[in-house]
Each structure stands twice: as structure tokens, then as C-alpha cells.
Structure 1
Amino acid sequence: MAESFAFAIADRVLGKLGSALIQEVGLAWGVKTELEELNDTLSTIRAVLLDAEEKQATSHQLRDWLGKLKVGFYDAEDIVDEFEYEALRQKVVASGSFKTKVCSFFSSPKSLAFNLKMGHRVKKIRGRLDKIAADKSKFNLIEGVANTPVVLSKREMTHSFVRASDVIGRDDDKENIVGLLMQPSVTENVSVIPIVGIGGLGKTTLAKLVYNDERVVGQFSTKMWVCVSDEFDIEKLIKKILKEIRKGDESYSDSSMEQLQSHLRNALDGEKFLLVLDDVWNTDREKWLKLKHLLMDGANGSKILVTTRKKSIASIMGTFPMQEIKGLSHEDCLSVFVKCAFMDGEDKQYPTLLKIGDQIVEKCAGVPLAVRSLGSLLYSKRGERDWVSIRDSEIWELEQNEDGIMAALRLSYYDLPYHLKQCFALCSLFAKDFEFSNVVLISIWMAEGLIHSSGQNAKMEDIGERYINELLSRSFFQDVEQLIPGVGYTFKMHDLVHDLAMFFAQPECLTLNFHRKDIPKRVQHAAFSDTEWPKKESEALRFLEKLTNNLKNYQEA
């Protein structure tokens, strides 16, 4: 579904074609006409791309057409980049030998051969794009205007602390689990309480409420919070638990498994502890038992609180009956929606919008994440047409696997300004529960050419901050932790939001591991799984060489 940001790629290539350097190259190398024709072709296609991207969800043919276009756009960008690189290289060479006239460094026999080759490539890619573009008449596409640049909504930045008064509809669930935590253990010193529910229901939020409750804080001498996610790696989990106990004062990176298990058992010996294992996916009972055996030295009454989407996992791990949380009532969901879509008290000024909002909430099937996502999407939108388009979107009719949640998230994604879609999709390269740094993420976006000044008199870093704040305000990011006041902070993505990013990024963005034998042709951005990275430097170099050769072969194919 990386076709969703075909417009952004076309826009970027057009920007490069219009640069002063490429204009100079076209004139000096005799390819001015070819580059102008390529520019015209791209401009013609670009005009209908926004409409095509909105309609592709319900048309396989349109998706396929956009996919072919996107590959062509990337090939066109590669050609333009080569022109730019060669021009800059020859300018540096010319400067070093005091040749200052344009013709002097663009007229050597080597340069002439390059010019002919590149001129042929420009004609070839333009022909390809013309042929694909000819099919656009099949889809009845409407020419559109790009989304307006990001305008920050007037909201304060969020943070990871969960205030009980901000959580709606979970009082009974909270009291029930707090009660279980207060009970003494019967058969073993350490008991396990599983919290089960579909994605987006608020299992983690509920666990945080319980974890920070004053009664629970006073009940346990040691508390630990560990996010597990997809990989149930016992060694890594022990290190995370030890880090929580020691509060980061000691590093265990070089410790053997024998040393780690000893450190863990000694740290928990006689301690009445509460351990939260958040977002567990492991179905291998043997793996769980190996970790469990290392946690059994705690004092009587110690508890492990597990959050998971799967009942089968709860049955493997739990000693208490699973606590299955349900969707919120319609009334509670509407309260959440109003809180996200309006400023305090503003909903009373818009009775018609509130009625439409009530119908939108009905489609969210009691899932708070879906409700928050659409409420955030409609914040600051006061036109009835915007609200009706969300309520009546065909996206709701698509097959769903999370009780309507993905439909709501897709609608939020489609509403993003085109330049934010790529920025968001690129986040799929990071692991689930990854702790993003605003400084690092903005640097990556800048390196990928995804931050656009649009004529604004602002630094790239400041524009990147606007991008992050907009994604925060739309509930794509969460759990903000301030590190340096006014400068540095971290944040995360909900698992389902990460799934959404992967859905739209594939097959363009891919996380590779050392054992992968093939690399799909359409991959443009790759990341490496640190858990799979080879231990020996020679193996790593061989893998990188294989990766480079594969990509080169694809480009030449």
C-alpha cells in the first residue's frame, strides 16, 4: 500500500526538476527538452494522484496502476539524482583546476558519453510513464489540489502518565484488578493475572491505572514495567527486568545467561514485587515456564500482571482467571469522542455535528483507540461535509480484523496531509514499542528528503517539530516523555498504529534480518533487526555485500 504516497514522490521529483542546478544541467548537456517533457508528464499525472489515492482502497486495478506509477517515479528520481550528482562532481573537479566556465566541465568526451546515456534514460522513463498515464482515463479521476501545509492545532503535548480522571469507563475493571492484586497467593508465592482484550481497547491504559494506584504502590516493595511485544526473548526480558529494578544504574550487556539468572533471582529474593508484562504474544509455554521459574523467589503475594490480545496466552500464563475487558458503552465512547473532537464546552455550539459524531461513534464498536483517532481527526473541522464524509466513507465496508478499528485508523491516515503520509509510514521500520526521539526522527526525515520548507522561512528542524506535533495531535504518537524541557522528548506508537504504518509502507519499507535470502524489488527503505545482526564482522560485511549486489541487479533489470 505504499502507493498511498505516490503523490508525495511525484511532488518531490518535480521539485528537483525545477531546481536551478537541473535547469543548468539540461541546458549545458543538451537534454533540456527531454527534462521539460518529463516534467510535463509528471505534472499531468500528479494532478489526479490525490483522487486516485483516496479511491484505491476499493479498487484493486487502481492500486495496481498507482503501484506501477510509483516505481516509475522512483526510477525518474534516481535519474535526476544522477544528473545532480554528476554535475556537482564535475563542478568540484573544475573548481580544483580553475576552470570556471560551464562548457569547460560539461564538454569532455567522458561527459558527452554520459550525456548521451542519460538523455536516453530520460526518454525511456518518460515513455514508460506516458504509457502508464494513458490508462488514467479508465478510473474517472478528478484533478485535485494538494492538502494545505500542516497547521498546528492548539493542544498541549501529551505525556505517558495516565491521570485516572482522564480515563473513561474503566472504573469497575480497575477496582476488580486492584482487588486481585491485594489478595495473598495460595499455591505459589507469585501469582499471574492476565488482562485480555482486542487491540485498541485500552489494556495498557488499564494496567497503568492499576500500576499507579496508591493502594498498589503501598502493597509492593518493588515494581517493574516491561513491554514484551512480538519477541519473547528470555535473555532480553531478564535484562529489562533488572534495568527496572536497578533503575538503569547497572549495565548487563556483557553478562552471560548464567550471570543474568543469578542477578535476577538475588534481586527478587524475599521481595514482594509487582511485574507488568505488557503486550505479550508468546504462545510457547516452555519459554514462559523458563522465565517464570526465575521469578518464583519473590515473597508471598507477589504478582505478575500480563496484558495480551489472546485468550490462549492467558490460559498458558495465568494462575488467576483471565480478566477479559470489553468495549466501552456507547455513552462512554461518545464522551471520549467529544473530548477529542471539541474544546471544552464547544460541542454545545454544534448540535448537528454532535449528532453525526454519535453515528460515527456507533461504527467504532466500543474501541477507544478508534474513537480517539476519529475524534482527533475531526478536531478543528467544523464543516458538516467533513463529518459526513467520515461517517459515510466506503472504508467502513472493507473487511476488518479488529472490530472496525483498522477502518477508523485508515480514515485517519487518509486525512493526513500528503507530506506527512511518508513520514508516518517510514516509522514502520522501527520495532513495536520503539521509543522515538524527536531529534533522531527529524534527522532521519531530513536525510530522506521528507521535510519540505514550502517557502516557509523556518529551519528544517522546526518544520520537523511541526510534523511530530501534528501526528501527536492526531493520536498517531503517544506516551510522550520530556527529557530536556523545550528541546528533547521521546514518544511511542500504539501497536495497532504501528500495524497501520506497516500496511501502508509495504513493500517499500522493509526490516531485514541476516537470514533473509531475497529482497523484494520494490524495496526503497530498509532497516536491520538488531536481534538478527551477525556477531562476526566478516559475516556482516558479506551480508552487506550481498544486499548491495541484489539492489544493483534490481536497478539494472
Structure 2
Amino acid sequence: MAAALAGFVLKQLASLAVDKASLLWNLKSDILKLQNTVSSIQAVLLDAEGQSGKNHQVQLWLQRLEAVLYDAEDLLDDFSTEVLRRKQMDGNVVANEVSLFCSESNQVAYGLEIANQIKLIQSKLEEIDQDRNQFYFQTFPVSDDKEWRETYSSIPDVVVGREEDKRKIIDMLLLSGYKEKVVVVPIIGIGGLGKTTLAQLIYNDDIIKTHFVCKVWVCVAENFDPKFLVKRILESITKKKVGDLALDTLKDLLHEQIKNKHILLVLDDVWNDDRGKWDRFKNLFASSAAEGIRIMVTTRSLNIAKLTATKLIVPHELQGLSEHESLLLFEKMAFGEGVEPSQRYVEIGKKILRKCYGVPLVVRTMGGLLSSKETESEWKAISEEQLLSLGREDSDILATLKLSYDNLPSNLKRCFAYSSLFPKDYKIDVKTLVQLWMAQGYITKSSQSSLLEDVGVEYFKNLLWRSFFQEVTKDDDGNMESCKMHDLMHDLAVAVAGEEIKCLSVDSTGSGSLLNVGDVNLERIRHISIDLQDRNRWWSDIAWEAPALLAKATRLRTLLILKNCSRGAELDRSCGRIFSEMTRLRVFGLGGAKIEISSFVFYKLKHLRYLDLSSNEMETLPNEMTRLVNLQVLDLNFCQRLWLLPVGLGKLSNLVYLDLYGCSDLSCIPAGIENLSLLREFPFFILAKAAADSSRETAACLGELKSLDNLNGRLVITNLEWVKDKSDAEAANLKEKSQLRTLELFWSPANNYNMAARRGCDHERSILEGLQPHPNLKRILMQFYGGSSIPTTSGWFSSLRNLVEIGLFYCGKLQSLPSLAPLVFLQALKLYGLDSLEHVQSETVASSSPSSNNDLQFLPSLESLSIEECRNLIGWSARDTEDKSPPLPRVSTLKIGGCPKMVSVPRFLVNFDEVELKDVSSELLGAFGASLVSPSAHPRFEQLSLECAKDFPQGSTLNLTSLVMLCISHCDDMTTLSPSILRHLSSLQELQIQYCKILELEDGDGDDVSPQQVLPSLRILTVRKVPKLVALPKWFQHSSNLQQLELYGCDNLKFLPNWLTELTALETLTLPYHGYISSRCRNSTGEDWPNISHIPNIEVDGKYVQQGGRYLGTFEEEEEEDSEEGGDIGGEEVEAEQQQQQQQQGASWHIQISRLSENCFARITCNLFEKCFLP
């Protein structure tokens, strides 16, 4: 790290040596002298760092050097900051306090102080330089970090040679002959062998997706706590945060989620070898009503694999890649896709691969390393490094990965080491990571025109190519969004970071204390992150301990509370004072903590470049914050109470990211943001609401956006009703902002306050004309727009040919839309609350066949169509007829609701994942059925939801043969559902009928329909709150594949028919709180019990009466048994075994109690353990 640090200091010195401020303060000679000394030391650092692992004295020498170089960096950064403030004053941008600083007397005093500090650092470095002579270091020429070869446009997602492993494990998972309900299949192998990758391949396999309704992935690592794991599983299933609930409550929630489902759970990277913990976790699933539970475990430990494996299952031991597979993977990483490698290089690569033992992580890393080496001599040098000693232990693999690290350019070394701030398996946000690197000064611009964040992304790509990062996800625009580190790479990052970078974690067992604090060397620590682990733990748990510890870490440059961990507990005012004394901070992340912002002394934090105050509750920000002239990132995301920003915000001329999204109370943006020419992300622009507002004069107008040419990503502009005229809108110059991808234009709902600003349709249309976007725009959303049409003049709309999404919401006066025909990339169209719109398209579109070329098709890319609450909408087109309109070829999600006058829809090729029709007319239902065109003999139609419909779309029955799931809900006017309709749903597997007041399920005796034709594929039937249901229709008895039946709140259903015994595939019957029927099925003496006793799982009134084919009885029966026989404690399994031993202690007892019912202890009186001593 010393070499990288020395290089950065030299670049600072070179920059300051030519600055006129150094001449003004007479510092040039001191700076040049310091520059020469650092250069002299830098020449030996490559050899010194190589020896440091073997020579403790060299290591101590390097530590001394690093400490002084850090001090030099701080001093030079302080100097640069004051230079920047002086330049601001010269530009008349800054306030009086800087003018005071730049007065003649202060300039002289400051110059003397800086000169003295430079001389002090020079003296320390000269002493260190003298001491180096005892080590006889070799000198090497120092070259700038050269650019790597930008040969590859993307990072390949390469997986080689795991098909046979994948097939074997899938076979084990799908096998149905196991006696156990919970089947565990372990995968074992050393680190880097590809266990996680193999598990991912299996998890995403199409066969697995089809078989398992519910799939959950949890990375366990060292935190094998059953409660924590259940929470993670529930959050994965429900996509919602789960509170700090008792384990019993979590278990009930889990059982509800997995009931009647086939479950696949992956527990990745398991280290727990405590059988008790494992059994408790597994039993949480064993007592559920899931159809089948398969758990796939990945681990490095054979003992853990044997402990977790289901009986008769042999853990799958993963082997290394073969020579051929290793070479194939290596070539893809070293040479890229489609490149014919030189045979000489291949032969050297084969020698290297023989020392990699087929470990994919090592093969990938070595390939990535050699991709940056251009000459044959460089390849040979790598092959002759210390690979000969490589074995197959994790420590040996780590040594090889260290070789790849050693060959990184010095700036990339610092970037990689800094990544140890994140805990293992943490999902790292790539944009945040690059911002943190920027804040620490690790990124160097390759040219004056290049942007730091773009260079930072290239840094990340280079590290990704060399396998230092993995598991990258991308956003809709193809930008890298998140990544993870392999746990061995994380071990390497921690090792090379040494004592300078630490991730502290909070004890999740309840004490809330900071763990691994003893590892922190307060003299050497520079960067700290705090991981709360349990995402529901509050900041206050550590508030008493963290500030006291951090107050002693006087050299701290990073304090980062990891995102989404802190949850808004209030910090004491003293914390602000403590944090304000951390004057060397570059990164300060307090997202989510309730902080008293007034307790901070911001002018002391002059080095600060990254400040995260997101999701906090402050209402204002102090003007003093504008003195943070180095600030690059200011994150105020979702500070929902914030209403006022500092007036001098425009002084922060280095600001690159200003995130105000979700600041719903913010009144306006202060004037002066036009000075923030480096801004790249500024997603939320609020116009002042009225000229009468006191903030209006100091508020930014749209014209200030003109100079922000680097804006990219998303831009939301609100309060557009207060724009004066078209010229004001044009001043924003949106048509030149080529990097914007999403534009959201929001007017406010019309009310008495803003009525004067709503100056008619023509005015609002002219404002929209002035806001013409660049053709590169991909998404446009508008809300409460008051114009009657969208501009088409000057190519306003027709030029936006790259649009993938259009959303129009509550545009109540909009009467027409432009032609959508040119939008060949459009994927999503959302229309909501367009009360004046009668037709989506006013012009006829020429028909084309489904097999036509995409250029001739209408909206060939459209996948999602949503039309809701358009009360006067009549149809899709004013002139089209059903037989002439071209079909939309790719729509998979369709949602139409709250359009009572709508009678026609476009034609669709049947390729649906989900269709929802809510509160629509019978005519529309018929039109929908007639609109469906089958593209092939195997159309796809996954799900149809009918809500508030008057009738079933009868015209569509012939076209619904591929429908898999049907939900009929809240259809209060629907009267019948007869076999003549349902017989066409031959592929239907799930039917839900709920909350339909007058719906009757007819037997269909008068229909010319064979009962065997009705719903032959049905597996799940749910009927809730259908009061007209008197008896189950007879045609259900021929649904021979029915597996799950749930009846709830059907008060007029008086019995269950005896033909239920013919449904031999039925596995689960659920009667939740069903009154009369429940009483007939609650126990073995119930009148309907003979009709259902063959069903393995029966739940009545929220309690299992029968489970796994075993009769459990009712609560009353258990209570009666308990009172008669004290040894049977509420439960399913109680064993008492007397084991008499011939010892002095006399007889001993072994008692095992498990699977107790919920409140059995309330009925136990026990005097057994008197005068007993526990061992």
C-alpha cells in the first residue's frame, strides 16, 4: 500500500508545485524538495513490499513510512482545499468568511504554517530514507500505472464442465421415494471450486423452476442462527422486511407461506457444525404442511456435509476441472471470446494450469491476470513465480490469488483492499463503491476530458475481469448495479488491508456490543465500517459504544454505516461533537440514523468528499455545510422531513452526485446550482411553488439546468405548473442532455392554491414543448399534465424512437395520444386516470401477420400493457376493426381496470404470463376473448384474474385452453360458472373463486358436457366467501389430479360429499374457521370424517387434525389424554426411558421432549426437579 500512497502524494505535489498559490506563499522550493525525497523512497518500495511478508523489521519500516505519507497527503489536501476556496473568492462565488481568510495577514500566517508542516514531514521522511540503507533494497524504475488492454467489451459469464454434477444433484432433489419430509442434499468442496456457482446453475434450471413453486436462497456463512435464517427466508418469499418477532411467530408465518407447496431452499456456505442448531432449524420445516422440502447445502466441511445430509444421501463431493475444461476456461479469460491464441502462449498457460489443480477461481484469476500481460516474457515470469508450492488447501489458493493482487497496478490495489470494508457475501452497490474510491482519491483521470466516475467504472471492470469481484447484476439500461466478492477474495482483501481497514460487526445475539473491536489498532486504523448484521437492530444498540471507540481513532478517513442496516434510532448530541473532531474524514455515512444535525461543526470536516445522510429526519441543513468545497457526493435520499437546503449550495463546485429523491417536503432547489457543472446525478428538481413565496427569489429556475450537461440516469421535475412560459422551459435545454435515460415530468393536482398557475391546455402544452428531451431518452412519465394533447411539432414525440417505457398518470384533459407506431423498442405502456381519452390510437395501423418482419409489426417489443381508471375510454383505435388490427406479438402482462365504457382491445398473440381484468364491461370481456390469436399449437397463458366482472369472457373459452391459473374475485354481479365454460380450460391447474356474493357453481346437469371434460388438470382449488355455494359441484369428482382443496367462509355449505374419497391425489384439505363444516370434520367421530380421512393433511380451524397421514386428534382430545396420563406432554413425540445404572447416584432418567403444542406448558404442574444439581 505504501507504493500506491507514495504515487498519490507525488501527483499532489506535482500539481501544487505549478499552482500560483504555492508561489504566493513561497512554498515552491519546499514542495520540490519533498517531491524529490518521496521519489527516492518510491524507487525501493516494490522490493520493500515484497520483503515485508518475511521480514518484520521491513514491515515496521513500511508502517512508519505509510504514517508519514498519510500525514503528507492530509497536509497537501488541506493546502489544495484552501487554494480552491481562494479561487472561489476570486470568482466572487464565496461568502465573507473566505474573504476574511484570504486577507493579507491571514495569507502570511497560513503560508508560514504550511511551510513549517512541510519541513516537519520532510524531516521525518529524510530519517526514514536514511534507515532504509540497513535493508539493502533494490531500486526499480517507477512507471505510471499504464492503461490495461481494453480488449473486451463485456465480462463473460463463463461456466465450464459442471453438467454431470448438475444432473446428479437435480436427480437427487426430484427423487420422490424419500421417507423424510425434509430432504437435505449437501455439496462439499474446497474454497473456489465452484460450489456456489453449481448451486446457482441448479437453482435457475428450468426443471427446478417448474417443480418447485417456492425457491429461496440464503447465504449463511458463520451466522447459523435459526431465528435469523427464518427471517431471511420469509423476507425472500414475501419480498418484505420482517420485524423482530419471536421464533414461534416466525415459524407460524413460515408455515403459512410454504403450506401446500414444493420448496427448494439453498443454504450457501454453511459453517455450523452444531447438531442441536441444525436439528432445531430442520424441525421448523418438518412440522409444516409443505408438500415437499428440499434443502441444498454448500459447505467446505465434510463433517458438516455428513451432519446435514439426509439418511442414504451421500454428499456430492465436487472435483476440480479436467485439464481440457481448465484450458477452455483459462483461454476465455486470458484471450477473450472468439480470439485464436498463439500456441506459445497456450503452452505457457498449460504449465501454469498444472499448478492450479482445476480450481475454477484460481484458473479464472490467473487467466484474468495474464490478460493484462502482453509479452511472452511477462507470461513466463508469472509461470516461474511461487506456484510450485500450490496445494489444494485454502491457504495455498489464497497465496496464488495474492500473486494476482501483486500484479495489479498500485491504484487498483488500493481499490481492492478498500473493498474489505464490506462483510462477506455483502451485496455491494457498484455505483457506491466507485463513489467511495473517488472520495479516497484512488481514481486518477486518464485525461482532462475524462470523468472520474467513468474511470472508476473501468477500474471496477478490470478487477471484475480478474475475478476480484463476481455475481454482477445489471439495471434495465445495462449498467452494472451490484456485485459480490468470493469469500476467498474477501479473505485476501482483509489480509492486504491489514490494520488500516476494518469492518466491525454488532453482536446479533442481543447484547448489541461491537465485535472484533480488539482487532482495531487505533493508531493505524484509517477506515471503519459498521455492519449491524441483523437488519432490524437499531443504531441505539451501539450508540453508547461506537462513538467512544471512534473518538480515539484520530486518523480515521472513513466511517461508514452500511446501507439499509441502521434504522432511525436517535443519537446523542455528543455524537455530533465527536464526529466533528474526525477532521481527516473523506467518507462519512450515517444513512438512517436520527442525528442532531445542529451538533455538527462542518467546517472542521474540510476533507470530506462523501456524505450520506439518507433516510434521516432533519428538517433543514445548515449553511455552514456549503464550506465543504471538496464534497463530491451528498446523499439526502428519502429525508422526508427536509424542507430547506442551504442557500449557498452552488458553492459545492466539486459535487458529482446530489440525491434528493424522496425528499417530499422540500420546497425548492436553491439558486446557484448552475455552478455545479460536474453534476452527473441530480434526480429530483423542485420548482418553487409560487411567486409569492419568500423562497422564490432564492430558488433555482429551470434555466439553471442548462449548464448541467453531464446529467445522466434519471431526472424528476416537479411543480411544472409554475413555469412562466415556453422560453423558461426551453432554457433547461433538456434536448442536449444525451445521457439522461429517464425523465419524469410532474405537475401538481389542480387545487385552490395553484389554480392561478393552471393557465389552460394550450399553456401547459407549450411548456411541454419547451421540455423536449434528447432522442436517447428511454423512459418518459408524466403526471397531472393539463394539456389536451402531446406535442408532435418539431419532432417532439416522433424523435423519441428509443423509448422503452411510457407512463401517463392522471392527465385528465388529455384527449389524444401521438401515433405509437414508430416506437419499435417500446416495452411498457401505462395509462392511468386519463378521463378525457376515448381511444389510445386515432389512426388505423396496417395489419401484418404474426410471422412478418418486426419492422412491419405494430409495437413489436411491447411486453406490458396497463390501462386503468380511464373512465371514458372506448377502445384501442377509433377506426380499426377486430379483424384488421395487427396483433401485438409480445405482450405477456395485460392489466385493464376501471374502464367501464371500453368495448374493444387490440389483438394479442397468446403469450401471457398474467392478465388482470377488473371492473370492465361484458362487451370488453367478449372482445378480449375474440382478440386472442394463437401463434402456434402451443400458446402460453399463465394467469388470468377477473375482478368486479359481470360475466366470464365466454367468447374467449376456445382461446383459453392454455390457461394455467384463474382467479375470480369480487365479482358481485357474476351469477353462474358452469361446466360449459370451464370445460375449455383443459390446462388449468389452479382455480381461485373468492368474495362473489351471488355466484353459483352449477352442477351442469342440463349441459351437454361430460364431467370428465371439466378441469382435468386442476391441482389447486380455493373457494372463499361464496355464500351461494350449497354443495360442491359433482364435476369436481372427476378432477383426479386435485391435490389441494381450501374452503373458507362458505356459510351455506353444510356437508362434504362422499365422492371426495375418489380423489386419491388429494393431499391437503384446509377448512379455516368454517363453522358448521368444521364441526363435521374436526375429529374422527365427525359425520364427514369418513369422506376425508384418506387425505394425508387436514387443517381445521387453523389446527392440523391429520398430518402426513397420521391422525393427531383435536385439542380437546389431547387435553383429555394429558389429564389421564401425565407422561404424555401435549405432543407428538414424548419418550421417557429409565436407565438404571449401578452407581452411587442411583437411578438416572433420560427424558426427551419434542414438538410440544403451542401452550402445553400452561397445563403442566411439575414438582419433579427438587433438590437436583445440574452437571
**What TM-score do you get using the length of structure 1 for normalisation?**
0.87
Paired position in structure 2 for 1:36: 32
2:551 to 545, 549, 552: 549
TM-superposed CA distance for 1:550, in Å, is 0.6
Runs of 5+ consecutive residues of structure 1 not aligned to the other structure:
160-165
User: In structure 2, how many angstroms separate the alpha carbons of the residues matched to 1:131 and 1:397?
Assistant: 39
How do 1:209-248 residues align onto structure 2 when only pairs under 5 Å count? Answer: 209-246=201-238, 248=239
Conserved 8 A contact 2:47-2:137: no
User: In structure 2, how many angstroms separate the alpha carbons of the residues matched to 1:400 and 1:33?
Assistant: 55
2:15 to 2, 16, 19: 19
User: In structure 2, how many angstroms separate the alpha carbons of the residues matched to 1:106 and 1:550?
Assistant: 37
Q: What secondary structure, in the 3-state scheme, does the structure 2 residue paired with 1:242 have? A: helix
How do 1:68-217 residues align onto structure 2 when only pairs under 5 Å count? Answer: 68-85=64-81, 96-97=95-96, 105=103, 107-108=105-106, 118-137=114-133, 138-158=136-156, 167-184=159-176, 186-217=178-209
Which structure dedicates a bigger proportion of its chain to strand?
2
Q: CA offsets per residue over residues 433-489 of structure 1, 9 Å max, x none?
A: 111222211111112222111434111121111111111222222212222313352
Paired position in structure 2 for 1:315: 306
Paired position in structure 2 for 1:304: 295
Change (3 A) 1:312 1:481: same
2:268 to 278, 284, 297: 278
AA in 2 matched with 1:531: Q
User: In structure 2, how many angstroms separate the alpha carbons of the residues matched to 1:378 and 1:476?
Assistant: 14
Paired position in structure 2 for 1:368: 360
Change (3 A) 1:85 1:187: same
User: In structure 1, how many angstroms separate the alpha carbons of the residues matched to 2:54 and 2:298?
Assistant: 35
Runs of 5+ consecutive residues of structure 2 not aligned to the other structure:
506-512, 557-581, 584-1175
Does 2:350 correspond to 1:358? yes
Change (3 A) 1:64 1:350: farther
Change (3 A) 1:528 1:463: same
Conserved 8 A contact 1:432-1:493: yes
Change (3 A) 1:82 1:339: closer
Change (3 A) 1:548 1:291: same
Change (3 A) 1:125 1:323: same
Change (3 A) 1:136 1:142: farther
AA in 1 matched with 2:514: H
AA in 2 matched with 1:82: D
Q: What secondary structure, in the 3-state scheme, does the structure 2 residue paired with 1:19 have? A: helix
2:418 to 426, 432, 439: 426
AA in 1 matched with 2:293: S
1:498 to 484, 490, 493: 490
AA in 2 matched with 1:357: G
Change (3 A) 1:40 1:532: farther
TM-superposed CA distance for 1:344, in Å, is 4.8
AA in 2 matched with 1:383: T
User: In structure 2, how many angstroms separate the alpha carbons of the residues matched to 1:404 and 1:429?
Assistant: 24
TM-superposed CA distance for 1:392, in Å, is 0.5
AA in 1 matched with 2:467: S
Conserved 8 A contact 2:278-2:308: yes
Q: CA offsets per residue over residues 77-100 of structure 1, 9 Å max, x none?
A: 122233344566688899645997
Q: CA offsets per residue over residues 43-94 of structure 1, 9 Å max, x none?
A: 2222333444455455554444333222221122122233344566688899
Q: What secondary structure, in the 3-state scheme, does the structure 1 residue paired with 2:445 have? A: coil
Paired position in structure 1 for 2:317: 324
Paired position in structure 1 for 2:255: 265
Asked which structure has the greater RCO (Cα within 8 Å, sep 6+), the reply is 1
User: In structure 2, how many angstroms separate the alpha carbons of the residues matched to 1:441 and 1:51?
Assistant: 30
Q: What secondary structure, in the 3-state scheme, does the structure 2 residue paired with 1:550 have? A: coil
Change (3 A) 1:345 1:460: closer
Paired position in structure 2 for 1:515: 514
Q: CA RMSD in A?
A: 3.2
Which structure dedicates a bigger proportion of its chain to helix?
1
Change (3 A) 1:294 1:374: same
Conserved 8 A contact 2:251-2:284: yes
TM-superposed CA distance for 1:193, in Å, is 1.1
Q: What secondary structure, in the 3-state scheme, does the structure 2 residue paired with 1:18 have? A: helix
TM-superposed CA distance for 1:256, in Å, is 4.7
Paired position in structure 2 for 1:163: none
Q: CA offsets per residue over residues 114-157 of structure 1, 9 Å max, x none?
A: 65555443323222211222244412232331330344331423
TM-superposed CA distance for 1:190, in Å, is 0.8
User: In structure 2, how many angstroms separate the alpha carbons of the residues matched to 1:502 and 1:456?
Assistant: 34
AA in 2 matched with 1:543: E
Paired position in structure 2 for 1:339: 332
Q: What secondary structure, in the 3-state scheme, does the structure 2 residue paired with 1:504 have? A: helix
Change (3 A) 1:396 1:418: farther
User: In structure 2, how many angstroms separate the alpha carbons of the residues matched to 1:182 and 1:532?
Assistant: 34
Paired position in structure 2 for 1:295: 285
**What TM-score do you get using the length of structure 2 for normalisation?**
0.43
Paired position in structure 2 for 1:162: none
Conserved 8 A contact 2:16-2:22: no
How do 1:416-495 residues align onto structure 2 when only pairs under 5 Å count? Answer: 416-495=408-487
User: In structure 2, how many angstroms separate the alpha carbons of the residues matched to 1:539 and 1:106?
Assistant: 50
Change (3 A) 1:293 1:508: same
TM-superposed CA distance for 1:361, in Å, is 0.3
2:531 to 529, 532, 556: 529
Change (3 A) 1:545 1:244: closer
User: In structure 2, how many angstroms separate the alpha carbons of the residues matched to 1:219 and 1:333?
Assistant: 33
* Largest Rg, 1 or 2: 2
Q: What secondary structure, in the 3-state scheme, does the structure 1 residue paired with 2:172 have? A: helix
Change (3 A) 1:155 1:76: same
How many residue pairs get matched?
A: 540
User: In structure 2, how many angstroms separate the alpha carbons of the residues matched to 1:88 and 1:167?
Assistant: 50
Q: CA offsets per residue over residues 167-199 of structure 1, 9 Å max, x none?
A: 333233222212211223534201111111100
Paired position in structure 1 for 2:591: none
User: In structure 2, how many angstroms separate the alpha carbons of the residues matched to 1:367 and 1:321?
Assistant: 22
Change (3 A) 1:8 1:315: same
Change (3 A) 1:156 1:98: closer
User: In structure 2, how many angstroms separate the alpha carbons of the residues matched to 1:15 and 1:353?
Assistant: 36
Paired position in structure 2 for 1:387: 379
Conserved 8 A contact 1:48-1:144: no
Moved more, 387-396 or 543-552: 543-552
User: In structure 2, how many angstroms separate the alpha carbons of the residues matched to 1:505 and 1:532?
Assistant: 25
TM-superposed CA distance for 1:389, in Å, is 0.9
User: In structure 2, how many angstroms separate the alpha carbons of the residues matched to 1:525 and 1:260?
Assistant: 37
Q: What secondary structure, in the 3-state scheme, does the structure 2 residue paired with 1:139 have? A: coil
Conserved 8 A contact 1:149-1:417: no
Conserved 8 A contact 2:503-2:531: yes
AA in 1 matched with 2:363: V
Change (3 A) 1:409 1:226: same
User: In structure 2, how many angstroms separate the alpha carbons of the residues matched to 1:533 and 1:206?
Assistant: 28
Paired position in structure 1 for 2:560: none
Change (3 A) 1:99 1:271: closer
